[in-house]
């Protein structure tokens, strides 16, 4: 019989390790991950001031998740931070300033920022709740915990659509030793969209969460780790970042299956 408490703890720790790894990576590269802010802002003086405080704070928040210290409150804080990044930085950037904002695939980092909002809410819902937050903003964010799956699913559905709109270039990411690259490209697109819809409407969460974890973790082993080994520093360490994020979101899949249900209690 499954020990749900241990699975929830595993999911929390997987996401915590993702956050710690990304925080250290940002400190090592001296930049904020494009999952959170566009690299085009790197010339802004404020961006340069924020790099190291953000990297340190992000790393320490991962440590707090790992040891389960104030995880509920910290998750709510980051829920607001990531939502702020999406609404007031990424969305305006692509709509008004970026020359590639009309290309759907270019919105991938923005969708991933929103998925970190969802991850923070799902993570908060998985921790044993402290007393209601005294801060009004955190109380508002705590009310959004049941919608964490919807925020997270924007990325799943967006990436799924990319598999159809940009099927040819995405199919080249399938390892050559796996036959039927186009089939797997479309199959993954259907799986991502289906998972996003199911999670948004809370349909068969345990089954969908387990399947999502299995799919993401298989991609980590088959796709992302080999690519990261081949090009660990290419494109600002993008392949390493994909490893960290895929590992962390595999943990979120476990929380969707076993831990997020607490948010409805």
Neighbours of 253 (CB within 10 A): 26
Helix %, strand %, coil % for the chain, to 5? 80, 0, 20
Q: How far apart are CA 246 and CA 20, in angstroms?
A: 14
Neighbours of 109 (CB within 10 A): 19
Q: How far apart are CA 96 and CA 119, in angstroms?
A: 27
Q: Each residue of 47-56: b (16+ CB within 10 Å) or e?
A: beeebeebbe
Largest CA distance in the chain: 55
Q: Count how many Cα atoms sit within 13 Å of the Cα of residue 247 in the half-sphere of its side chain.
A: 20
Q: How far apart are CA 45 and CA 242, in angstroms?
A: 27
Report which of 113, 122, 114 is spatially closest to residue 148, judged by C-alpha positions.
Answer: 122
In whole angstroms, what separates CA 88 from the centre of its chain?
Answer: 19
Is 163 within 8 Å of 170 (Cβ atoms)? yes
Q: What was the pLDDT predicted at 260?
A: 76
Q: What was the pLDDT predicted at 50?
A: 94
Is 71 within 8 Å of 122 (Cβ atoms)? no
Report which of 47, 204, 212 is spatially closest to residue 119, judged by C-alpha positions.
Answer: 212
- 28 three-state secondary structure: helix
Is 254 within 8 Å of 10 (Cβ atoms)? yes
Q: What was the pLDDT predicted at 261?
A: 59
pLDDT > 90: percent of the chain: 79
Locate 91 and state its tokens.
Answer: 């969305």
Q: Please list the ranges in the chain whose pLDDT falls under 70.
A: 1, 100-102, 130-131, 261-265
Q: Count the helices and strands in the chain (H runs, E runs).
A: 12, 0
For the chain, domain boundaries: 4-264
How large is the C-alpha radius of gyration of the chain?
Answer: 18
pLDDT in tens, 166-186: 999 999 999 999 999 999 999
pLDDT in tens, 152-170: 999 999 999 999 999 999 9
């Amino acid at each position: 019989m499954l020990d749900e408490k241990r699975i929830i703890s595993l999911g929390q720790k997987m996401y915590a390790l993702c956050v710690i790894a990304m925080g250290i990576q940002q400190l090592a590269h001296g930049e904020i991950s494009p999952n959170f802010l566009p690299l085009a802002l790197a010339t802004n003086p404020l961006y340069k001031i924020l790099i190291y405080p953000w990297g340190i704070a992000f790393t320490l928040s991962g440590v707090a998740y790992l040891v389960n210290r104030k995880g509920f409150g910290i998750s709510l804080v980051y829920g607001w931070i990531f939502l702020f990044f999406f609404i007031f930085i990424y969305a305006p950037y692509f709509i008004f300033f970026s020359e590639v904002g009309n290309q759907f695939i270019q919105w991938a980092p923005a969708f991933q920022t929103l998925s970190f909002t969802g991850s923070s809410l799902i993570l908060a819902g998985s921790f044993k709740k402290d007393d209601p937050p005294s801060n009004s903003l955190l109380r508002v964010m705590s009310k959004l915990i049941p919608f964490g799956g919807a925020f997270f699913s924007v990325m799943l559905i967006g990436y799924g659509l990319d598999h159809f709109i940009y099927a040819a270039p995405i199919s080249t990411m399938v390892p050559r030793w796996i036959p039927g690259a186009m089939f797997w490209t479309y199959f993954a697109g259907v799986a991502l969209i289906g998972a996003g819809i199911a999670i948004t409407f809370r349909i068969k969460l345990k089954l969908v969460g387990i399947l999502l974890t299995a799919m993401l973790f298989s991609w980590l082993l088959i796709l992302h780790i080999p690519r990261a080994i081949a090009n660990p520093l290419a494109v600002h360490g993008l392949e390493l970042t994909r490893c960290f994020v895929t590992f962390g979101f595999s943990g979120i899949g476990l929380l969707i299956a076993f831990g997020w249900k607490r948010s409805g209690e």
